Amino acid sequence: MVGLFIAAFLALFLLVPVVKVIYVAFIDPATGDFTLLNFKDFFDSSLFRESFYNSFYVSAMSVIVATLIAMPLAYFTTRFNFKGAAIIQTLGIIPLIMPPFVGAVAMKLLFGTNGSINLLLEEYLGINIPFMEGLNGVILVQSIHYFPFILINLSAALINIDSSMEEAAQNLGTRGLRLFRKIVFPLAMPGYIAGAALVFIKVFDDLGTPLLLDVNKMLAPQAYLRISSIGISDPMGYVISVILIAISLFSLWASFQAMKGRDYSSVQKGGGGLSKRDLKTGERIMVYAVIGFILFMVLSPHIGLLLLSFSTIWSFAVLPDGYTFAHYYTAFSSASGYITNTLIYAGLAALFDVVLGVAIAYIVYRTGLIGRKWLDYGASAALAIPGVVLGIGYLRTFHNVEVPIVGEPLASWWVIIVIALTIRRFPYALRACVAAIQQVSVMLEEAAENLGANKRRSVFKIVVPLMSGGIIAGFVTSFATASVELSATIMLVAKESDAPLAYGIYEFLQSASGRGPGAALGILAVIIVGLGTYFSHRIIERGEKKRNAAVAVNEE
Amino acid sequence: MKLVKTLIIASSLLLSGTALAAEGTLTIVTSYPPDTTNTFKAAFEAKHPNVKVEMLKKKTSAGIKYIKETAENNKSDLFWASAPDAFEVLKGDNLLAKYDVKVSGIPDKVGSFPINDPDGYYKGFAASGYGIMWNTRYLKAKKLPIAREWADLKNPVYFGHVGMSAPSRSGTTHLTVETLIQGLGWEQGWAEWKAIAGNFKTVTARSFGVPDGVNSGQFGLGVVIDFFGLSSKASGFPVEFSYPKVTTLVPANIGLVNNAPNSEAAGEFIEFLLSTEGQELLLNPKIMRLPVNPKTYAKAPAEFPNPFTDKTLGAEVKFDLQLSKNRYNVVNSLFDVMITYRLDELRAATKSIHDAKAALGDKDNAEAIKLIAEAEALVNKMPITAKQAAEEGYNGVFKTKRKKAATKSSGRQAEIEARWDDMVKENYAKATELAQQAKSLL
């Protein structure tokens, strides 16, 4: 039943609209017949081949750089007793909640050829480092933007590792890096792979960042430029979309293969989590220095944006000419509608995402439903659909569907934005839920059922609570990223009064006098979503403590 | 699930209460920034208190898609944007309705361009032309001279300091590209563009990317539409703007959408836009567009360009609109293939030619001179001739809809572009090599 419902939902809001758009890829523009010639043209073009290679290179490098950023943060905060772990985890997630196009603007001001850092370097050392030139810039911005995917999933996985495994290894004499490499990291593999696959696919499909950095020799920008140019009907944009989808599906499949045949679940959950230990003073200073540097790097877009939001004029200078509150005044006068809309859209979308995510994860890993893998693949394929394509598909499919009572076409009713966000952010929640369920041993459910619990009871009393870390991680990721999504919503917003924050920011950033207010609105968005994230962390922590306390009591 | 559903329905009822179209709602699809839309919205609503204006902001191309996709159940009243060709696309698809303007005093032409659509489907409300804007701090720090004419931008001192957006992304950029090509001829015009583009730092994907880059000092000079330059200066950035001699003034337009739900209010808005009051709003420092009503210029600030009295502005160009229309997409595609997507290769070739020429100086080395000339010829070589570009059989491949099914077009756009690309890439590489060879001789 549930499976059917989800399948129908996906078919209606993902498959049909996308198929409506991508069938163009298989049509001969001259005759209107079915053809595969367009794909031959794709591989015959050296421009497209280079774009393909560049996309691949940038995605792979972004995964590496993102790992370098995320790994220490995740490890230190989960492994050691640490002041401010919650704050670090929250700060580590904040990059996700800034629309990438805003981040790129701020990064250019700081790291561009004539940005603050290079102006300083040039004045004192006479050198200029091309941080933001070409593909470098894309890799830098993308890894800073998307590393939280790895951080969130890896942290969740580390917390869930059974400490007895580690203790056993320690008893056998394993210490330090070897312990991490041989025991801890392999056990956290599902989380890492889930995060890394997300980063890879997201970067592969991302449009806004390369476009803003004027890098167009990559696949997603090529598709976008071709689809959205006036008057050009050639099918290559659609061909590229098909290829993006294929690559994303392949990466997902590969990430599933990587984990196939291994069991990552551990039975004991009560004392879950690595045993935390205290740091020596020397170590503590080291660790704080590393974390401080990483946080400075990943928060630099925000630092840039903050400066921009307070600046009068900032042009070819290390720092702005002067400071003012005026932009916040302008931003506040137009923000309340945007904020309410954003919270409603992103909140609903994230809620649907985790509900569906848990359902699919359960169906895939706990039932024998025919075609269950396809539910997973299908839902994950949403990752690969460029927002623009989804937006156009929705307009095409749902504009003639009148919503009863409301009396508006479905395509211009605000709920369609929620649905688009649900679909677009669904894969995030799904990955998190899948990783979570893989760590829950099926034996626990069987035990509950042996003790007389029915299916429903064992799901709600055993599986879902044990997955809660993953579920909340999924909710937070979906919510945070949905609240800054632009590419699909920009096609679907039918009234200014329905517009979300990212749309408002984008609009401001399109005029010379709007840069300040746009930045101020961006900061506002970061604060709101950041607070949301922080509080959900607090809730998880409290839940965990309670459960641990209960276990302790039971053990006594 | 039930709870979720109840929640949705409850909140949807709550929101739809405010979202339901009231009697006097006027929906305008526009590409303009909030400074422009809010100013006009406030002024119009003050004058017509019973009408509520909804500005629906889309990039021009997205706006066209939106109107096309929603045509069967149209909810938009007006389309308000700059590029005349966007309106041509809508007109061609029967998505605009005719409208007769009541306001008088608007001339037929600005520069050599007609202000209103001759068929009456859309009206010009402001004029804009392309020019060069520059960041004064940047030029001072890098000790660069000011460039006033297009040809100045070819100067090797500007290597890596210039920005422009692609003509396929912005209709007005397209007009600038086409204007220069028509003025100098096909081969010569493209050679000029490549020489300028060899100095580019970047080709931006959004037209606003250029003023943004100049304002923040990412690059020093930009090829931009006038109001970007003028409004940036008015917002306080250390930038200046000037029109070169060769520029085309084109109208920015507004058009009534076919089957508009509120055509009465839409008509009022067009009238307001063209009235004395509406035209004066264009002079707002944050908007800064050239009004189409000559009388409005009396209120303009000093030094504000006036195309109706300054006859040099846009006068040098005799623009062949039909020619431009015929090869519209071919020119865009050529620019992208030769410049946008091969910018790195073009820059490398340009740099080595600059270096070789600098090394040559006044020296009389026949061999080196020959090599440099060969390298330049290779860079300038065009994949197709002007005649091919204008032939319907050829450019038909690049068009959305062929007029007649019988019009034969051979080949597919992607296939043709791939051929061009192979040739261009090879030529740029060879040119780089030859220029380096020339330099090694000196």
A345-359 pLDDT per residue, tens? 988 999 999 888 888
For A80-188, where are the alpha helices, taking DSSP H only? 85-93, 100-111, 116-125, 134-160, 163-171, 176-179, 185-187
Instruction: For residue B372, tell me if it sits in a domain.
Output: yes
The torsion angles phi and psi of A134, rounded to 5 degrees, stand at: 55, -130
- Answer whether A411 sits within 8 Å of B217, measured CB to CB: no
Could you say which of A334, A355, A406 has the minimum Cβ distance to residue B16? A406
Which H, E and C letters describe A202-232, residue by residue?
Answer: HHHHCCHHHHHCCCCCCHHHHHHHHHHCCCC
pLDDT at A205: 80
What is the C-alpha to C-alpha distance for residues A453 and A445, in angstroms, rounded to an integer?
9
pLDDT at A62: 95
pLDDT interval class at B122 (50, 70, 90): very high
pLDDT at A233: 58
How far apart are the CA of B13 and the nearest CA of chain A, in angstroms?
Answer: 8
Instruction: For residue B308, tell me if it sits in a domain.
Output: no
pLDDT at A58: 95
pLDDT at A448: 81
For B309-341, how does the pLDDT look when each residue is reduced to its tens digit (9 = 90+)? 877 776 666 777 778 878 888 898 899 999 999
How far apart are the CA of A102 and the nearest CA of chain B, in angstroms?
Answer: 13
How far apart are the CA of A297 and the nearest CA of chain B, in angstroms?
Answer: 21
Judging contacts by C-beta atoms under 8 Å, the chain B residues touching residue A113 are: 201, 218
How far apart are the CA of B105 and the nearest CA of chain A, in angstroms?
Answer: 31
How far apart are the CA of A264 and the nearest CA of chain B, in angstroms?
Answer: 31
Could you tell me which residue, A313 or A552, shows the higher pLDDT? A313
Fold of the domain spanning A2-24+47-261+294-312+343-555:
MetI-like fold (1.10.3720)
pLDDT at B215: 92
| For testing contact with chain A, the best of B412, B419, B428 (most A CBs within 10 A) | B412
What is the C-alpha to C-alpha distance for residues B282 and A197, in angstroms, rounded to an integer?
50
- Tell me which chain A residue has its CA closest to the CA of residue B234: A513
- Tell me which chain B residue has its CA closest to the CA of residue A352: B4
Could you say which of B7, B35, B401 has the minimum Cβ distance to residue A514? B35
How far apart are the CA of A459 and the nearest CA of chain B, in angstroms?
Answer: 16
User: Distances from the Cα of B435 to the Cαs of A83, B156, B159, B196, B370, in angstroms?
Assistant: 62, 15, 16, 18, 10
The mean pLDDT value for A303-330 works out to 87
pLDDT interval class at B126 (50, 70, 90): very high
Percentage of chain B modeled with pLDDT above 70: 90
Could you say which of B64, B337, B412 has the minimum Cβ distance to residue A230? B64
Cβ-contact A153, A438 below 8 angstroms: no
Dihedral of the alpha carbons of B391, B396, B400, B405, in degrees to the nearest 10: 120
How far apart are the CA of B51 and the nearest CA of chain A, in angstroms?
Answer: 15
Cβ-contact A338, A503 below 8 angstroms: yes
pLDDT at A329: 86
Strand segments, DSSP code E, in B4-156 are 25-30, 52-57, 78-81, 96-97, 109-110, 113-114, 122-135
Residue A64 has pLDDT above 70, yes or no: yes
pTM of the model: 0.81
Residue A20 has pLDDT above 60, yes or no: yes
Instruction: For residue B144, tell me if it sits in a domain.
Output: no
Instruction: For residue B213, tell me if it sits in a domain.
Output: no
A439 three-class SS: coil
Judging contacts by C-beta atoms under 8 Å, the chain A residues touching residue B64 are: 230
- Answer whether A510 sits within 8 Å of B33, measured CB to CB: yes
For residues B342 and B391, membership in a common domain is answered with: yes
User: Distances from the Cα of B128 to the Cαs of A211, A452, B165, B248, in angstroms?
Assistant: 26, 78, 16, 8
Could you say which of A42, A315, A344 has the minimum Cβ distance to residue B217? A315
**Which helix H or strand E contains B239, and what residues bound it?**
strand B239-242
pLDDT interval class at A462 (50, 70, 90): confident
What is the C-alpha to C-alpha distance for residues A241 and B194, in angstroms, rounded to an integer?
31
- Answer whether B399 sits within 8 Å of A231, measured CB to CB: yes
For residues B54 and B121, membership in a common domain is answered with: yes
* Nearest Cα to Cα of residue A435 among A199, A197, A275: A197
**Which residues fall within 8 angstroms of residue B70, CB to CB, at 6 or more apart?**
A395, A399, A409, A411, A412, B76
Chain pair A-B, CB pairs under 8 angstroms: 227
What is the C-alpha to C-alpha distance for residues A264 and A186, in angstroms, rounded to an integer?
9
For B189-226, how does the pLDDT look when each residue is reduced to its tens digit (9 = 90+)? 999 999 999 999 999 887 888 999 999 899 999 999 88
Instruction: For residue B237, tell me if it sits in a domain.
Output: no
Judging contacts by C-beta atoms under 8 Å, the chain B residues touching residue A105 are: 212
Structure tokens at A533: 């994230």
For residues B277 and B377, membership in a common domain is answered with: no
* Nearest Cα to Cα of residue A9 among A469, A519, A420, A463: A420
For A91-111, how does the pLDDT look when each residue is reduced to its tens digit (9 = 90+)? 777 787 777 778 888 888 888
- Answer whether B73 sits within 8 Å of A399, measured CB to CB: yes
Domain count, chain B: 2
- Answer whether A229 sits within 8 Å of B208, measured CB to CB: no
> Any idea where the domains of chain A sit in the sequence?
2-24+47-261+294-312+343-555
In the predicted model, what is the mean pLDDT of chain A?
A: 81
How far apart are the CA of A239 and the nearest CA of chain B, in angstroms?
Answer: 11
> Which residues are registered as beta bridge partners of A211?
none
- Answer whether A212 sits within 8 Å of B412, measured CB to CB: no
Residue A69 has pLDDT above 70, yes or no: yes
Cβ-contact A179, A170 below 8 angstroms: yes
How far apart are the CA of A402 and the nearest CA of chain B, in angstroms?
Answer: 10
Pairing of strands B162-165, B200-204: parallel
Instruction: For residue B306, tell me if it sits in a domain.
Output: no
Range of the domain at B354: 327-442
* Nearest Cα to Cα of residue A388 among A200, A211, A529, A514: A211
Judging contacts by C-beta atoms under 8 Å, the chain A residues touching residue B420 are: none
For residues B276 and B386, membership in a common domain is answered with: no
ipTM (interface pTM)? 0.78
- Answer whether B137 sits within 8 Å of A29, measured CB to CB: no
Cβ-contact A411, A457 below 8 angstroms: no
Q: Other CB atoms closer than 10 Å to residue A527's CB: what's the count?
A: 12
| For testing contact with chain A, the best of B80, B169, B392, B413 (most A CBs within 10 A) | B413
pLDDT at A270: 46
pLDDT at B14: 43
Query: Quick one: DSSP state of residue B204?
Result: E
For residues B114 and B258, membership in a common domain is answered with: yes
| For testing contact with chain A, the best of B31, B212, B231, B395 (most A CBs within 10 A) | B212
For residues B331 and B437, membership in a common domain is answered with: yes
What is the C-alpha to C-alpha distance for residues A207 and B134, in angstroms, rounded to an integer?
29
For residues B294 and B350, membership in a common domain is answered with: no
A43 three-class SS: helix
- Answer whether A490 sits within 8 Å of B137, measured CB to CB: no
pLDDT at A393: 80
pLDDT at B20: 33
For residues B32 and B116, membership in a common domain is answered with: yes
Q: Other CB atoms closer than 10 Å to residue A234's CB: what's the count?
A: 26
User: Distances from the Cα of B423 to the Cαs of A49, A300, B179, B340, B342, in angstroms?
Assistant: 16, 43, 26, 15, 11
pLDDT interval class at A312 (50, 70, 90): confident
In the predicted model, what is the mean pLDDT of chain B?
A: 84
What is the C-alpha to C-alpha distance for residues A224 and A487, in angstroms, rounded to an integer?
10
- Answer whether A395 sits within 8 Å of B69, measured CB to CB: yes
The mean pLDDT value for A430-435 works out to 82
Cβ-contact A522, A508 below 8 angstroms: no
pLDDT at B402: 40
Q: CATH code at B81?
A: 3.40.190.10
How far apart are the CA of A211 and the nearest CA of chain B, in angstroms?
Answer: 6
Could you say which of B228, B232, B398 has the minimum Cβ distance to residue A232? B398
Dihedral of the alpha carbons of A434, A220, A133, B430, in degrees to the nearest 10: 140
Structure tokens at A76: 């230190």
- Answer whether A511 sits within 8 Å of B4, measured CB to CB: no
Instruction: For residue B118, tell me if it sits in a domain.
Output: yes
Could you say which of B201, B218, B417 has the minimum Cβ distance to residue A108? B218
- Answer whether A30 sits within 8 Å of B409, measured CB to CB: yes
- Answer whether A112 sits within 8 Å of B62, measured CB to CB: no
pLDDT at B193: 95
Counting other chains too, the contacts that B190-193 makes at CB distance below 8 Å and 24 or more residues apart are: B190/B334, B190/B338, B190/B380, B190/B382, B191/B379, B191/B380, B192/B150, B192/B151, B192/B154, B193/B335, B193/B339
Highest mean pLDDT among A244-258, A393-407, A485-499, B428-442: B428-442
Q: Other CB atoms closer than 10 Å to residue A54's CB: what's the count?
A: 21
pLDDT at B240: 93
Instruction: For residue B106, tell me if it sits in a domain.
Output: yes
- Answer whether A47 sits within 8 Å of B418, measured CB to CB: yes
Q: Which amino acid is at B440?
A: S
Judging contacts by C-beta atoms under 8 Å, the chain A residues touching residue B173 are: none
**Which residues fall within 8 angstroms of residue B338, CB to CB, at 6 or more apart?**
B190, B194, B346, B383, B420, B424
Judging contacts by C-beta atoms under 8 Å, the chain B residues touching residue A514 are: 33-35
The mean pLDDT value for B375-391 works out to 90
- Answer whether B231 sits within 8 Å of A512, measured CB to CB: yes
pLDDT at B186: 93
- Answer whether A217 sits within 8 Å of B169, measured CB to CB: no
- Answer whether B58 sits within 8 Å of A407, measured CB to CB: no
Which residue's structure tokens are 């009051």?
A: B277
Judging contacts by C-beta atoms under 8 Å, the chain B residues touching residue A223 are: none
Highest mean pLDDT among A51-60, A280-289, A479-488: A51-60
How far apart are the CA of A81 and the nearest CA of chain B, in angstroms?
Answer: 39
Judging contacts by C-beta atoms under 8 Å, the chain A residues touching residue B417 are: 45, 47
